[in-house]
Amino acid sequence: MLNVIYEDNHLLIVEKPPNLLTQGDATGDPCLADMAKAYLKEKYNKPGDVYLGLVHRLDRPVGGLVALARTSKAASRLSDQLRTHAMQREYLAVVHGADIAANGTCTGYLLDENGTVRCVPEGTKDAKQAVLHWDTLGTRDDLALLHVRLETGRKHQIRVQLANQGHPIVQDMRYGTDPPGEPIALWGARLILTHPIQKNTMRFYSVPKGKAFDGFQAEIDEWIIKEKI
């Protein structure tokens, strides 16, 4: 079932579960966009196709908040916010290595090679600059809970850059070494945007789900409470 966080005539904010495609691909597997269209079609008894603009995506293994536009005008304005970084997408992640710094910035260049991304030297052909910031919210055993903020939205950026720092995300099957069995410990936990029509600032939160986050529930609750103040 679709977990709707917020809905009005212009905007639909939903929580994507891990391991669900945001948008359909060649696999033909179910995707969030189709689920949201089916939800709107049934709820409002709409004939024919339902318009729904996909503003941004989450990697298939990643859960969290996704913004969808219900009108073309809303889609255009939200896309502009994303392009100019006025829309803020923030993540919580559990990484290996409790020795990670209290805060820091990753700046580098990423190259996508047939779906797998790696860090490369500046000046590498087709590489794109990637910048993210993190704060460490807590540590347990040899794990750390991070709050991650993006300056750029490159493919697999958080996963690749943290792994390159020696702190791969727990249960990252592509860029880490954990065995399969649990969802990746990366979650789109906060989304800040300006309503495309009403122009007011809106903040949405989603509590991460997955075994790796269970030991950090107190830190997660504290972060959400602090951010809401």
Tell me which residues are annotated as active site: 59
Give me the DSSP letters along 109-129.
EEEEETTEEEEE-TT-TT-EE
Residues 119 and 108 sit within 8 Å (Cβ to Cβ)? yes
- Residue 96 CA, distance from chain mean position: 19
Cα 86 from Cα 168, distance rounded (Å):
28
Tell me the β-bridge partners of 146.
93, 136
| Alpha helices per DSSP H over 154-229 | 157-164, 211-214, 217-228
